[in-house]
Amino acid sequence: MHARVAFYKLRSGTFKQVVRTVEAPGGLLDIFRESPGFQSYELIEAPAGLISVSHWESSAQADEATRAAAVWVAQHVEDRIKLQQSDIGEVVLSSSLAAAAH
């Protein structure tokens, strides 16, 4: 499994406005869900900005998600957020309470 982690700084508006746009029909979440290899997505509000974390079956799929996200952000929320950094890496350890319960 591979993860794409992106850090965004808020330019204008609120985090909630960005989240609503991401999860609206046709938003970034829909694009990711329709993409091959998609596994999960989190958008985290932190004091430094928004952190976007998506999980993919392969590095190539995560890389394609980076390109798709860049296009979508430019078209829909570039006036609200600015990309600070984006990285893709192999997940070497992952754990959750739900997985531990099974």
Interval 67-84 mean pLDDT: 91
- Helix spans in 24-91 (H): 28-33, 59-76
- So what's the architecture of 2-90 in CATH? 2-Layer Sandwich (3.30)
Q: Is the pTM of this model over 0.75?
A: yes
Q: Name the residue type at position 95.
A: S
Torsion of CA 57, 95, 28, 80, to 10 degrees: -130
pLDDT at 98 over 70: no
Task: Identify the pLDDT of residue 100.
Answer: 61
- Secondary structure letter of residue 88 according to DSSP: E
CA distance 102 to 97: 9
Domain ranges of the chain: 2-90
- Secondary structure letter of residue 94 according to DSSP: -
